[in-house]
Amino acid sequence: MTEALLSHQCPQCGAPVELDETDRIFACPFCQVRLFIHSDGPFSYCMKPRIESPDTLVYVPYWRFRGNAFVLDPQALRHKIIDSSLLAVDMPALPPSLGLRTQAMKLSFVEPTTLGLFLAPAFGNGDFKARLLKAVPGLATASGPSLTACVGDVMSLIHLPVFQGKNLVDGLTGKLLGPACIDETRLEKACSHLRFSSTLCPQCGWDLVGERSSLVQTCPHCDTAWEPGPEGGSRVTPHFLQTPEQPALYLPFWNLRFRAKGFRLETWADLIRLTNLPRALLPWMESTAFSFRVPAFKIRPELFLNLSAQVSLYQPDAPVLETLPKTPLHPVTLPQKEAFQAVPVVLGRLAPARKNLFPKIRGGSLHPLEANIEYLPFVDAGHEFIQPEMNMAIQKNALFWSATL
């Protein structure tokens, strides 16, 4: 999938800077400033109109999702990599989707200074994901129980410009869309939850390092890790699985703790009873807590589920280190909120006989409690990386090309 390109003025020197939609660090090539990019909620973008008109400029919202979609039922598991948008208001005159426009055109952040009026979305991103799963060919399931998830690195609002006078006109092409149909009493001026903040370490003032797309940046001076927050860098405490071998790379996984409602799932013993895993119930399992692990990086959907199942069943004991390792850390690109979306499907993936699982969890739910980042060491083995403690391998090409998903 192609990255959407953004254009934004540098907050420090005013130079025009282009960045990718997944960038979480704003890096200006002119003044060399590096800033955290943070938004309280989904990032909000707009397309600039390409025609001029004396009529009212209105920006219409579309939800956009890019990532992996999963549908699991008792008979089959279906998954797809998708990059789709959907009109977020009920207006038949408008295009139901933005199509390839999100990939072919430059976007801009919505800011308080953006000219025009904005229409608020009529439904949230949760409803959008549910509608998306029904609309994407090959994912719809027959009537009956199913577990679904949309797990992506991009969830945003993109606004299409239209001009409304007596008629409604597409602000990009000039195409007549129909008679005026937007209730102007619902329109609002632009507002923004966008924040730019310093990437200097809040603890020691040193420059944080990390790839532009990574949600976690590290300080090589005081051995701390930080993620974008509303007031700048927010401290995170990474955990590292130890190995006697010399690792070539650390891959990040989310350790997700949750509360089950409607069924019992707190310990290893609960998991075995719920999923009918072919394992003997031992006394220690009754008191040992269970948590899910999912990759915190982009990867193909089938690998995402396989890695989640393998690491979840291993339950690595990863302590906090006093000093960060010098071995490269793979960038964290999957937000924890998106990672929690995957938990129901991972639960279904763990069950050898899913038809026995669905009656046990019908009407139940899993509620997020806590998330931590765990880095697992992988050693170089030619064409693949191997995790020695789990005897788990991942092809280098799969990891390399996942950056383009």
pLDDT for res 405: 63
The answer to whether the CB of 251 falls within 8 A of the CB of 389 is no
Measured CA to CA, the distance from residue 168 to residue 94 in angstroms comes to 9
Measured CA to CA, the distance from residue 351 to residue 88 in angstroms comes to 36
- Widest Cα–Cα separation across the chain: 75
CA of residue 337 relative to chain centroid, distance: 7
> Which is nearest to 234 in space by CA: 99, 303, 336?
336
Tens of pLDDT along the chain (405 residues) come to: 555 678 888 888 988 888 888 888 888 889 988 888 888 888 999 999 999 999 999 999 999 998 899 988 888 888 888 888 999 999 999 999 998 888 888 899 998 889 999 999 999 988 998 888 888 877 766 666 788 888 887 889 999 999 999 999 999 999 999 999 999 899 999 988 888 888 899 999 999 998 988 999 999 999 999 988 777 778 999 999 999 999 999 999 999 999 999 999 999 999 999 999 999 999 999 999 999 999 999 899 999 999 999 999 999 999 999 899 999 999 999 988 889 999 999 999 999 988 889 888 988 999 999 999 999 999 999 999 999 999 999 999 988 877 666
**pTM of the predicted model, to two decimals?**
0.89
The answer to whether the CB of 103 falls within 8 A of the CB of 87 is no
pLDDT for res 142: 61
pLDDT for res 2: 54
Measured CA to CA, the distance from residue 142 to residue 140 in angstroms comes to 7
Measured CA to CA, the distance from residue 89 to residue 364 in angstroms comes to 30
Count of residues in the chain: 405
Measured CA to CA, the distance from residue 117 to residue 401 in angstroms comes to 40
Measured CA to CA, the distance from residue 280 to residue 272 in angstroms comes to 9
> Which is nearest to 61 in space by CA: 119, 135, 129, 116?
119
The tokens 């790839």 sit on which residue?
211
pLDDT for res 173: 94
For residue 35, give every residue at least 6 positions away whose Cβ sits within 8 Å of its Cβ, in sequence order, or none: 11, 12, 25, 26, 196, 197, 198, 199
The answer to whether the CB of 358 falls within 8 A of the CB of 145 is yes
Stated as kind and residue range, the H or E segment containing 398 is helix 396-401
